[in-house]
Amino acid sequence: MAIVGGLDLHRKQITFEVLDADSGEVRRGRISPADRQLFRGWLGEFTDRHVELAVEGCTGWRFVIEECQAAGVVAHLAEPADVAALRGRRRHAKTDRIDARHLRDLLLDGRLPECWIPPQLVLETRAKVRLYKDLTDQRTGWQQRMHATLYHLGAPAQRGLLTGERDRLARIQGLSPAARQAISVALRVIAALDAEIAVVRAELVGFARRQPGCRALQAEFGIGALLSVVIWCEIGDARRFAHSRDVVRHAGLDITVYSSDGKRSPGRLSRQGVPLLRWALYEAGRCAARAASPDHIYYTQVAERLGGQRAALSVGRKLARRCYHRLRALDEQALAPPPPRRTGPPARAA
């Protein structure tokens, strides 16, 4: 390596430390403010040199990796938790300069724990999927506020809160003026969220119906178009996992157990994984409650012992393994871009 360095990212600045392996010169400094244009200019100082840079996979890594790739710089995305573990017990004050040097040394020694860098298609789809989930979570939050407001003032329970004529909620007897205003505001916000959710959902479903990896996942019972694109973009390249159990761990659906001698604590869900992937697999696992599901017998057996929620999680673990094998079997086609939509009328048979 001619030049090797580490980057510590923050919103206000990027702290760097680079080593010229040929001359032994070490350069330290900061790139401030931390934006794409200024970082691109800093990379321009290494034109016609072989450069390798390590950066932690925290907020801000995307534009750094993209600019490195555009400039011909070899970028390494590091796993933050593993990097912290390799630092060992802290004996000195933690500074940005020490963090940058630590990344550089790990890269130089060949010990840097690296993450998979998703292609642009996966990154863009992930952004849309997470936008959709944020919007639905906000909608749920406003709906819960309405339930709480009505209950607090003793209004009758509204099981189908948003079904039928929604304006009836603001006309319920016994509400104070402030409560009526709160209900009216919540209804307007939910209406606006519904419009945005419909647009994003239509884009995701249209993508899932054309993308090869998503279509393969939809062969599993319980995984529709929307859940398939969530699972597809959060698993990414299945070939980076050595075994299907690694996907279960990636989703945070693995069971952790503490055992020592004759003592053993009850197992619990680790939740050390991607929350959105865990949510999608759980929602798909709930469909096993239907009699048509191939996992229905297994679901009912677990539900009788542990309840429906744990049964859905158990089926979700099975689905995670099956999704891994389906994506792995597609090889390169799993992440292929979808074919363009047909815009003209269908061709007539001769």
Q: What is the mean pLDDT of residues 322-339?
A: 95
Position 349 scores a pLDDT of 55
Q: What is the mean pLDDT of residues 113-136?
A: 95
Comparison of pLDDT for 31 and 158, the residue scoring more: 31
Could you report the per-residue pLDDT of 237-261, keeping only the tens digit for each?
999 999 999 999 999 998 887 766 6
Which pair of structure tokens corresponds to residue 247?
Answer: 């996907």
User: Taking a C-beta distance cutoff of 8 angstroms, is the pair 307, 323 a contact?
Assistant: no
Position 66 scores a pLDDT of 95
Position 167 scores a pLDDT of 84
Please report which confidence band the pLDDT of residue 328 belongs to, taking 50, 70 and 90 as the band edges. very high
First to last CA, the chain: 62
- The proportion of the chain whose per-residue pLDDT surpasses 70, expressed as a percent, equals 94
Could you report the per-residue pLDDT of 175-212, keeping only the tens digit for each?
889 999 999 999 999 999 999 999 999 999 999 999 99
Helices 80-87 and 96-109, axial angle in degrees (round to 10): 90
Position 26 scores a pLDDT of 93
Could you report the per-residue pLDDT of 126-175, keeping only the tens digit for each?
999 999 999 999 999 999 999 999 989 888 888 888 888 888 888 888 88
Which pair of structure tokens corresponds to residue 126?
Answer: 């992930």
Could you report the per-residue pLDDT of 45-101, keeping only the tens digit for each?
998 889 999 999 999 999 999 999 999 999 999 999 889 888 877 666 678 899 999
3-class DSSP state of 207:
helix
Position 342 scores a pLDDT of 72
CA atoms within 13 A on the CB side of 228: 26
For 251, residues 6+ apart whose C-beta sits below 8 A from its C-beta are 234, 273, 274, 277, 278, 281, 316, 320
Measured in degrees and rounded to the nearest 5, phi and psi for residue 337 equal -65, 150
Average pLDDT of the chain to the nearest whole number: 91
User: Taking a C-beta distance cutoff of 8 angstroms, is the pair 142, 161 a contact?
Assistant: no
Position 271 scores a pLDDT of 81
Pinpoint the alpha helices (H) of the chain: 36-43, 61-70, 80-87, 96-109, 120-152, 177-208, 212-217, 225-235, 244-251, 275-286, 296-306, 308-330
Please report which confidence band the pLDDT of residue 112 belongs to, taking 50, 70 and 90 as the band edges. very high
Position 111 scores a pLDDT of 94
Position 7 scores a pLDDT of 96
Position 134 scores a pLDDT of 97
Position 32 scores a pLDDT of 93
